[in-house]
Amino acid sequence: MSKRFYMTPGSCSTGIHILLEECGLVFEAWVVNLLAGDQYKKDYLAINPKASVPALVLDNGSVLTEFSAIAWWLAKSYPKRKLLPESVEGEVRALGIMNYAVNTLHMQGFARIFTTERFAPSSCDHAAVQAQGRQIIDQGFAIVDRELAGRDYVGEHFGIADAALFYVEFWAERTGLALPPNCLAHYRRLLTRPAVRQVLAEEGYAAVLRAA
């Protein structure tokens, strides 16, 4: 059985999609239409009861969920791709940045903008929740920007933390939030990578590549 990758175009799963292509893996892509509520359907809940993407079903049938866990599994399973720095300190720094992108920029920041109602049921509070989200995003990118100063990638080479940063940078660009200079340069650098270009084209974002 080949790997099955459950994804939604333009979501956080895009980061994992990029890593799968960077590793040159053979897999089947299954689209979960989040807007249509596919994540709550019985068949999908049987695969990922967390009702979210990404999920990766391995050749042996075991299911991996959570961006950071899947990314770390890919880095450890395909060491020749050097998706994590070699030193323990470098690895921990990369994990710190990846987790910050997912747990803070995505789950605390962008989630307040994309799924405002989950943070405040009353529409009276929505503007305040979104403003809080933007503040978290601005502060978060300012921190990441300092981490990227003088560097092309988080580590010496492209790695899993870069893929996590890519999807939040992509969201910032798509929603018109200005990225600070090092993050913008990082985003544009990633847009030149063949795997990133292939994934964006496959996910329906060829226009982003033409504009870059």
Ligand X SMILES: N[C@@H](CCC(=O)N[C@@H](CS)C(=O)NCC(=O)O)C(=O)O
Among 83, 94, 102, 179, which residue interacts with ligand X (rule: CB under 6 A)? 102
179-186 long-range Cβ contacts below 8 angstroms, 24+ apart: 179/141, 180/141, 180/142, 180/145, 181/145, 182/144, 182/145, 182/146, 182/148, 182/149, 182/151, 183/141, 183/144, 183/145, 183/148, 185/148, 186/148, 186/152, 186/153, 186/162
What Cα–Cα distance (Å) separates residue 156 from each residue in 21, 45, 91?
A: 19, 38, 11
Nearer to ligand X, 66 or 145 (CB): 66
95 contributes a contact to ligand X by CB under 6 A: no
Nearer to ligand X, 76 or 146 (CB): 76
**One character per residue 168-197, x = contact with ligand X (rule: CB under 6 A):** ------------------------------
Q: How far is the CB of 76 from ligand X (least distance, A)?
A: 17
CB 103 within 8 A of CB 178: no
Q: Which of residues 75-94 bind ligand X (CB under 6 A)?
A: none
Among 5, 7, 9, 12, which residue interacts with ligand X (rule: CB under 6 A)? 12
Determine the residue with CB nearest ligand X. Answer: 52
**One character per residue 24-63, x = contact with ligand X (rule: CB under 6 A):** ----------x----x-----------xxxx---------
Q: How far is the CB of 147 from ligand X (least distance, A)?
A: 20
Binding site for ligand X (CB under 6 A): 11-12, 34, 39, 51-54, 66-67, 102, 115
